[in-house]
Amino acid sequence: MTNERLRNQIAAGGLTVNVLAERIDVDPKTVERWITKDRLPHRNHRSRSAQALDVDEEYLWPQLLDDPRVQSIRQTELLNLYPRRSSIPADHWANLIHGTHDHLDVLVYSGLFLLDSHADLTEQIVAKADDGAKVRLLFGDPDSPAVRGRAQEEGLGENLSARIRVSLDLLKPALGRSGVEVRTHTTTLYNSMYRFDEHLLINIHAYGSSAAQNPVIHLRNSPGGQLFAHFVHAFDRVWDTAASVDASAGVPL
């Protein structure tokens, strides 16, 4: 039995067996055996292969869907599911922010609720960065079609763009500080993301519903898990296409 999914995905990605083997640091003969003998690679090799081919592991190796070890890892990644963002206790946000030491990432359109509910958030961001944390904040470009489209879907008119500008204005004291980067993006926001070190809150967006009324998934990064890394990888893709915000004017460069 052969693994035609793996073979086809390699070809679809414009790669070869040798190129994939080089990217994941294995012998090409090993990759050939994965294909021709349908061998199941070690966990690290599966993860790196799936990332290189931009697909889920389960697509390449469907047998993982029935593996109890994989299911157990997934369960350790999922800490909580909130029916709506507004149901998350305020002190939970505060505890996550306070406990962040290395990575603070935010992907939103406006995110004004977080700045409104934590009056000293900008000061905390600066303090975290001064202590060595890497802070990356992504807001929607207020003039982008994506923001205008979301505003129309939710019946917000010009309010969404205005809220983004308010958020950027509130963050001015943090702009240009070492360790703090603020950018604006023009992408469709499928999920808002809030990363606090090894914790990640994912605010799902349903058509026509405000972010506050949509569910939030709380993930924790766990060894061997995939969900946390999957969403962080998505954040990175948006980050790479976003525009830096000018420290003096608070507008995209």
Using CA atoms, how far residue 212 sits from 31, 106, 164, in Å, is 46, 16, 16
Q: What is the pTM of this model?
A: 0.71
pLDDT at 253: 43
pLDDT at 199: 95
Q: Inform me whether the pLDDT recorded for 159 exceeds 50.
A: yes
Q: What is the mean pLDDT of the chain?
A: 89
Bigger pLDDT: 71 or 229? 229
Fold match flag (4-66 vs 75-244): no
CATH class of 75-244: alpha beta
How far is the C-alpha of 212 from the C-alpha of 79, rounded, in Å?
19
Q: Where are the domains of the chain?
A: 4-66, 75-244
How far is the C-alpha of 49 from the C-alpha of 21, rounded, in Å?
9
How much is the average pLDDT of 158-185?
94
Q: Inform me whether the pLDDT recorded for 73 exceeds 50.
A: yes
pLDDT at 66: 66
pLDDT at 47: 84
How far is the C-alpha of 124 from the C-alpha of 132, rounded, in Å?
13
pLDDT per position as a tens digit, 135-150 = 999 999 999 999 999 9
pLDDT at 249: 52
State which fold the 4-66 domain adopts: 434 Repressor (Amino-terminal Domain) (1.10.260)
